[in-house]
Amino acid sequence: MVKICCIGAGYVGGPTMAMIAFKCPDIQVVVVDISAPRINAWNSDRLPIFEPGLDDVVRSCRNNNLFFSTDVESHVADADIIFVSVNTPTKTRGLGAGKAADLTYWESAARMIAEVAKSDKIVVEKSTVPVKTAEAIEKILTHNSRGINFQILSNPEFLAEGTAIDDLANPDRVLIGGRETPEGQKAVAALKDVYAHWVPEDRIITMNLWSAELSKLAANAILAQRISSINAMSALCEATGADVSEVAYAVGKDSRIGHKFLNASVGFGGSCFQKDILNLVYICECNGLIEVANYWKQVVQINDYQKARFVNRVVSSMFNTVSGKKIAILGFAFKKDTGDTRETPAIDVCQGLLGDKAQLCIYDPQVTEEQIRRDLVTSKFDWDHPQHLVVPPGSPTSNKNDTVRVTGDAYEAAKGAHGICIMTEWEEFKLLDYERIYQGMEKPAFVFDGRNVVKPEELRKIGFIVYSVGKPLDPWMKDLPAAPST
């Protein structure tokens, strides 16, 4: 029986390994992590991450051919194929700080593999890593290997949160990069055999290691670029009276462009896009490609601009101050159908409003109060380090001040508020009784829709002043400053 071990039981390691176990009953899969609470949660009825369909997949194979354990070393020693799916955050200090990928967790995983391995292993990069990482990993493994043969493969993951199970069950493609030697190609074939249990052959693409590593960064950069492109258009739409949804529809009808990923928003969030683009920028700079680096940097800059522009719309509409005003924040996750808040635009918007002394009342159906409070005080880029390694026990992790309240109900959040900011496109926000909400709010009552989930005309009929990203402006906002001053 082939034995797989995955180091890192997070948003990628957990679901991908669950899918492999589910589709390959003849393979034993063990997911290991240094975080005991995380592993305990994977072994419980309350999984550590919310992902539609994940519970059923895990339940159907857990303790049959899928196991979660903190006994990292013994399972690594035992495995034929080792996936490494640990965090690769943006560096916060030293060379490349604020851009380069921090490979601390990857390196420590590689050293541990070299130390405990007693038989030949295939080591698979599942984490998103800078191009050429496999070369560094190869060096760590071979210099410490005591004669054991390691083959490094790149097998980047393309799942999106909220749709992970469907993405894993029906991937557009699976990429496998390996060395072009007989041993390298044998390892590629072994990993291909795993995916071939359920992925059609023509969707399993093999290539050289560096192409596979770079394809992952390129895919995320190009996806994020589409969002920044439509968000840049949204600012122009607001200035001219065009409607960004109509523009996106017209543009997307061109089959060369396509309609996906053209939804204007308050900005993209999530653990990957910004981190991976900054990483790409750093790699370009290291290769002396300054113009290329600046090109990709602009994708992140437009995203920051879009978030700042949103805060500016809120403050300038509300008589240029939100000091002491209650503002309801509906949604905190970076997108619907996940409880993940990493790099969510809600953090920047909340911090912007708190900077102007607003009183926030936050509601999200999947994000806990503890998480929200921690996010509002965590320094930039620190969020992507395993919490148990970053936060010393007993140190303050939460925003204790009374300018932030977290509630379990959207109506409660909006009661007595001057304005509502919609930060996540949860379906339930489309179905709220806005008439009832309006009655309970201070007047004039504002809705700032960062995800274009409400119908502005219907809300205006109720009496709201409405801002929707990239839509024709409410007369109230027409003459107000559109962009943050630089």
Ligand X SMILES: O=c1ccn([C@@H]2O[C@H](COP(=O)(O)OP(=O)(O)O[C@H]3O[C@H](CO)[C@@H](O)[C@H](O)[C@H]3O)[C@@H](O)[C@H]2O)c(=O)[nH]1
Ligand Y SMILES: NC(=O)c1ccc[n+]([C@@H]2O[C@H](COP(=O)([O-])OP(=O)(O)OC[C@H]3O[C@@H](n4cnc5c(N)ncnc54)[C@H](O)[C@@H]3O)[C@@H](O)[C@H]2O)c1
Q: What residue 47 binds from ligand Y, ligand X, none (CB within 5 to 8 A, per partner kind)?
A: none
Among 18, 84, 227, 447, binds ligand X (CB under 6 A): 227
Cβ proximity to ligand X, 335 vs 471, nearer residue? 335
- Give the integer Cα–Cα distance in Å for 309 and 312: 5
State the minimum distance, in angstroms, from the CB of residue 336 to ligand X.
8
Known active-site residue 272: yes
Among 4, 5, 10, 399, binds ligand Y (CB under 6 A): 10
Q: Is 272 in the site for ligand Y (CB under 6 A)?
A: yes
Cβ proximity to ligand Y, 154 vs 271, nearer residue? 271
Bridge partners, residue 4, by sequence: 29, 81
Q: What residue 171 binds from ligand Y, ligand X, none (CB within 5 to 8 A, per partner kind)?
A: none
Q: What residue 265 binds from ligand X, ligand Y, none (CB within 5 to 8 A, per partner kind)?
A: ligand X
Q: Which stretch binds ligand X (CB under 6 A): 188-196, 236-244, 267-275, 399-407?
A: 267-275
Residue of closest CB approach to ligand Y: 10
Tokens standing for 428? 């339930």
Cβ proximity to ligand X, 156 vs 184, nearer residue? 156
Among 77, 206, 304, 386, binds ligand Y (CB under 6 A): 386
Question: What pairing do the DSSP bridges indicate for beta strands 66-69 and 81-84?
Answer: unpaired
Q: Is 151 in the site for ligand Y (CB under 6 A)?
A: no
| 53 marked as part of a ligand binding site | no
State the minimum distance, in angstroms, from the CB of residue 435 to ligand Y.
38
Tell me which residue of 452, 480, 481 sits closest to 467, measured CA to CA. Answer: 452
- Give the integer Cα–Cα distance in Å for 51 and 60: 16
Tokens standing for 403? 């300018």
| 33 marked as part of a ligand binding site | yes
Buried b (16+ CB within 10 A) or exposed e, 365-376: bbbeeebbbbbb
State the minimum distance, in angstroms, from the CB of residue 272 to ligand X.
3
Q: Is 269 in the site for ligand Y (CB under 6 A)?
A: no
Per DSSP, the three-state class of 50 is coil
The residues in 94-133 that bind ligand X, with binding defined as CB under 6 A, are 128
- Give the integer Cα–Cα distance in Å for 146 and 115: 9
Q: What residue 10 binds from ligand Y, ligand X, none (CB within 5 to 8 A, per partner kind)?
A: ligand Y
Q: What residue 332 binds from ligand X, ligand Y, none (CB within 5 to 8 A, per partner kind)?
A: none
Cβ proximity to ligand Y, 234 vs 344, nearer residue? 344
The residues in 157-186 that bind ligand Y, with binding defined as CB under 6 A, are 157, 159, 161
Buried b (16+ CB within 10 A) or exposed e, 24-39: beebbbbbbbbbeebb
Q: Is 261 in the site for ligand X (CB under 6 A)?
A: yes
Tokens standing for 233? 């258009």
Measured CA to CA in angstroms, residue 448 lies from 88, 351, 453, 474 at distances of 34, 16, 10, 11
3-state secondary structure 408-437: CCHHHHHCCCCEEEECCCCHHHCCCCHHHH
Query: Residue 350 half-sphere exposure, CB side, CA atoms within 13 Å?
Result: 31
Among 6, 30, 66, 72, binds ligand Y (CB under 6 A): 72
Return the residue matching tokens 């005003």. 325
Q: Which stretch binds ligand X (CB under 6 A): 36-44, 50-58, 263-271, 381-389?
A: 263-271
Structural element, H or E, at residue 145: none
Tell me which residue of 303, 386, 292, 311 sits closest to 343, measured CA to CA. Answer: 303
Q: Which of 272, 350, 361, 421 is catalytic?
A: 272
Among 90, 225, 265, 317, binds ligand X (CB under 6 A): 265
| 58 marked as part of a ligand binding site | no
Per DSSP, the three-state class of 52 is coil
- Give the integer Cα–Cα distance in Å for 108 and 111: 5
Q: Is 244 in the site for ligand X (CB under 6 A)?
A: no
User: How are the residues of the chain apportioned to helix, strand and coil, as percentages rounded to the nearest 5?
Assistant: 45, 15, 40
Q: What are phi and psi of 390, to 5 degrees?
A: -90, -45
- Give the integer Cα–Cα distance in Å for 103 and 208: 21
Return the residue matching tokens 């969002």. 227
Give contact residues for ligand Y (rule: CB under 6 A). 7-13, 33-35, 38, 72, 85-88, 105, 108-109, 127-128, 157, 159, 161, 271-272, 386
Catalytic site positions: 272
Binding site, by residue number, is 8-13, 33, 38, 86-90, 127-128, 161, 272-275, 342
Which residues here bind ligand X, judged by CB under 6 A? 128, 157-161, 220, 223, 227, 261-263, 265, 268-270, 272-273, 334-335
